[in-house]
Amino acid sequence: MTLEQLRIFVSVAEREHMTKAAEALNITQSAVSAAIATLEAQYEVPLFHRVGRHIELTDAGRVFLDEARAVLGRATQAERALSEFNQLKKGHLHLVASQTIAGYWLPKHLAAFHELYPEITLDLAIANTEQAAKSVLTGTAEIGFIEGIIHEPTLIHWPIAHDQLVLVGADHPPAVDEAWIRNARWITREHGSGTRSTFEDALRQRGIAPEALHIALTLPSNESVCSAVEAKAGVAVLSELVVARAVDAGVLHTYSLELPTRPFFALLHKERFKSKTVQALFDCITEGTL
């Protein structure tokens, strides 16, 4: 049984006339007759009485008419739903982002997206870079935004924005040299954090092994690291976005240490379909950063 057969049956039943049904559907009368005959033969149930040159529904035909209309109604709703998704009138987008991005860079872009597409629900999970990559890999999230480099062949990632790392402390800036770096008390993010991995790469480029640092605290969020630095527990390297307010308020000070500008990466699965919703979000981000 096909939807086309159901449409033909309903058209004939409502008109009780093969020719008028064929004209309404813009198909031949023979196609209408064949569809009705196929339904009746397949289920061995007569749907119409043939009374002279007229036809009328049998009891089975009347019951079947209600069911056929219900099925066609559901099919119409399904078609409308797909059309609305295609036109970005409805949808649900699962995202994952590492902490700095989720807390300080992404929200303004999500707000702009919501203004354009208010019926699309955005569900944002927060994780470190490694966890975010895993979410995209497993399909838990359709798109990810990360700070660090990942090495997973089934994922594609590319720079979508840039961020400046800075060294901050609660005391007035000292002279920062290699000896100071080795002797300072450091507060760091956890392993797997993009902020931590970028800082450690910068240390290696200066010839300093990250293992040589005096790590006073390892904390799981930007905010906890920032609070610990404000409490004079040590110094830290964080995103400029994270410490901007504390620096402006004079609570923290930036120290003179050349650190890299790091990219923020967008992350997708190579083998999964990129929906129009994802592309619309990328377009919104691009327009917002021009």
Q: What is the pLDDT of residues 215-274, one digit of tens each?
A: 999 999 999 999 999 999 999 999 999 999 999 999 999 999 999 898 999 999 998 878
The whole-number pLDDT of residue 241 equals 93
Pair (173, 52) in one structural domain: no
* Residue 83 clears pLDDT 70, i.e. is over it: no
Q: Please tell me the least confidently modeled range out of 83-97, 132-146, 267-281.
A: 83-97
Pair (147, 215) in one structural domain: no
* Residue 40 clears pLDDT 50, i.e. is over it: yes
Pair (158, 226) in one structural domain: no
Cβ neighbours of residue 225 closer than 8 Å, sequence gap 6 or more: 187, 188, 189, 217, 219, 236, 238
Task: Dump pLDDT digits (tens) for 93-118.
Answer: 889 998 889 999 999 999 999 999 99
**Are residues 172 and 178 in contact, defined by beta-carbon separation less than 8 angstroms?**
no
d(CA 60, CA 149): 65
The whole-number pLDDT of residue 81 equals 66
- Which among 86, 116, 136 is the end of a domain? 86
d(CA 127, CA 124): 10
The whole-number pLDDT of residue 76 equals 78
Pair (122, 174) in one structural domain: no
Pair (174, 255) in one structural domain: yes
Q: Please tell me the least confidently modeled range out of 76-80, 166-170, 200-204.
A: 76-80
* Residue 289 clears pLDDT 60, i.e. is over it: no
What range defines the domain where residue 257 resides? 163-262
The whole-number pLDDT of residue 53 equals 78
Pair (201, 188) in one structural domain: yes
Pair (155, 167) in one structural domain: no
Mean pLDDT of 54-66: 90
* Residue 290 clears pLDDT 80, i.e. is over it: no
According to DSSP, residue 212 is labeled G
* Residue 61 clears pLDDT 50, i.e. is over it: yes
The whole-number pLDDT of residue 200 equals 93
pTM recorded for the entire structure = 0.66
Q: What is the CATH number of the domain that holds 247?
A: 3.40.190.10
Q: Report percent pLDDT > 70 for the chain.
A: 96
Mean pLDDT of 160-175: 93
The whole-number pLDDT of residue 213 equals 94
Pair (200, 230) in one structural domain: yes
Mean pLDDT of 30-52: 90
The whole-number pLDDT of residue 85 equals 66
The total of structural domains in the chain comes to 3
Report the DSSP beta bridge partners of residue 137: none
**φ and ψ at 158, to 5 degrees?**
-150, 150
The whole-number pLDDT of residue 149 equals 78
